[in-house]
Homo-oligomer: A and B are copies of this chain.
Amino acid sequence: MEIITIKDIARLCGVGVSTVSRAINNHPDINEETKAMIMQVIRENNYVPNNSARNLKRTDSKAIAVLIKGITNPFFSNMIKIFEKKIKEKKYSFILQHVDNKENEVDIAIELIKEKKLKGIVFLGGHFSHPDEKLRMLNVPFVLSTIATMENLDKSICSSVSVDDFKESYKIVDYLCKQGHKKIAIITAPMDDESIGMLRFNGYTRALKDNGIEINKNLIGIMKDELESYSMENGYAVATELLNKNEDFTAIYAICDSMAIGACKAIFDIGKTVPEDYSVLGFDGLDIASYYNPSITTIRQPVEEIAEETIKILFNVISKKTLVEHKTFQGELVVGQSTKSI
């Protein structure tokens, strides 16, 4: 078979080689019709762009990577779409990189920076407890988005956008106390958690104390190791145990909406109702929280605003407008049908 070169394509199209290159590489600076025509000719001629030339071209192009822990978490769905849109608006290409639970996101980032000549990075989800020296190895701007950072993290070396998990958790539990609830069970992360689990649990205990309610250890349900964390299944299993304990309570606060939905189902399955028999509360403000029956009382994290602000800050740092920025958004207490006052 005759080898088709980029020059042949250019000749067939009646354009220059650089125009063909722009079409292949999705360069913004090319007329859409011209591009369509070139791509048509490329297809008709089975032209395969030369790899090394192409890589050269691509490393020239500007890319932002989003490294995500928990890619299957519905909480991130809308954020991913906004990242993609905003990054492409800036004429950067968008790389979505999945990070395994056991992988070190900073190592992956260091590797990506070299491979892809990244101009910026967003770390999304999970928690972040890397030594400062390690973070200093990241020689491109980066932003931590909806990541629980530990207090000892040096805030002068990275930017961040999130809600205050402690404060928001306090807010929803305090609301429940003010509705007259005194016996409030919680479904939470293991006690050695250092992430949002710990922060949200601390918000719960503080709100109870401030409302003069003693912590009852029997009402603390810990999500199960053997099940996926923060899942409906886990919420269902832990709620079922709580309900079978013969311990009296009027409400279950699950530290995420998915577990709150599992808790609701556990309540239905023993023939009880929500909120008549038990109030149920979640956290996050997933779409499903409002579509569930009953809709779930929750803290809605402003994910769209968080995603937009993340990109805004990243580009501020890239353009050297700012060195670092930290932004904490307010969550919104959304009162659904799953809670009642007593």
Residues of A within 8 A of B (CB): 43, 46, 48, 51, 54-55, 71-72, 74, 76-78, 80-81, 84, 96, 98, 100, 110-111, 114-115, 131, 133-134, 137, 231-233, 236, 261-262, 264-265, 268, 287-288, 291-294
A43 in contact with B131 (CB, 8 Å): yes
Tell me what chain A mostly uses at the interface: helix, strand, loop, or mixed.
helix
A287, B232: Cα distance in complex, Å = 8
A71 in contact with B48 (CB, 8 Å): no
Q: Which of B51, B84, B288 contacts A288 (CB 8 A)?
A: B288
How many Å from the CB of A290 to the closest CB on chain B?
Answer: 8
A80 in contact with B74 (CB, 8 Å): no
In the complex, what residue of chain B is closest to A261 when comparing beta carbons? B291
B96 in contact with A54 (CB, 8 Å): no
A287 in contact with B71 (CB, 8 Å): no
In the complex, what residue of chain B is closest to A233 when comparing beta carbons? B287
A43, B106: Cα distance in complex, Å = 12
How many Å from the CB of A264 to the closest CB on chain B?
Answer: 7
Number of copies of this chain that the complex holds: 2
- Residues of chain B lying within 8 A (CB to CB) of residue A74: 72, 74
How many Å from the CB of A91 to the closest CB on chain B?
Answer: 15
In the complex, what residue of chain B is closest to A235 when comparing beta carbons? B291
B293 in contact with A293 (CB, 8 Å): yes
A135, B294: Cα distance in complex, Å = 48
How many Å from the CB of A300 to the closest CB on chain B?
Answer: 15
Q: Which of B72, B96, B137, B233 contacts A80 (CB 8 A)?
A: B72
- Residues of chain B lying within 8 A (CB to CB) of residue A268: 293
- Residues of chain B lying within 8 A (CB to CB) of residue A134: 43, 46
Please name 25 pairs of A and B residues whose Cβ atoms are closer than 8 Å in the assembled complex, sorted by A.
A43-B134, A46-B133, A46-B137, A48-B110, A48-B137, A55-B115, A71-B96, A72-B76, A72-B78, A72-B80, A72-B81, A84-B100, A96-B98, A232-B287, A232-B288, A233-B287, A236-B291, A261-B291, A264-B291, A265-B291, A268-B293, A288-B288, A292-B292, A293-B293, A293-B294
- Residues of chain B lying within 8 A (CB to CB) of residue A231: 287
How many Å from the CB of A156 to the closest CB on chain B?
Answer: 19
A262 in contact with B236 (CB, 8 Å): no
In the complex, what residue of chain B is closest to A97 when comparing beta carbons? B96
Q: State the 6 A-B residue pairs at the shortest beta-carbon distance, nearest first.
A: A72-B77, A96-B98, A51-B114, A293-B293, A232-B291, A265-B291
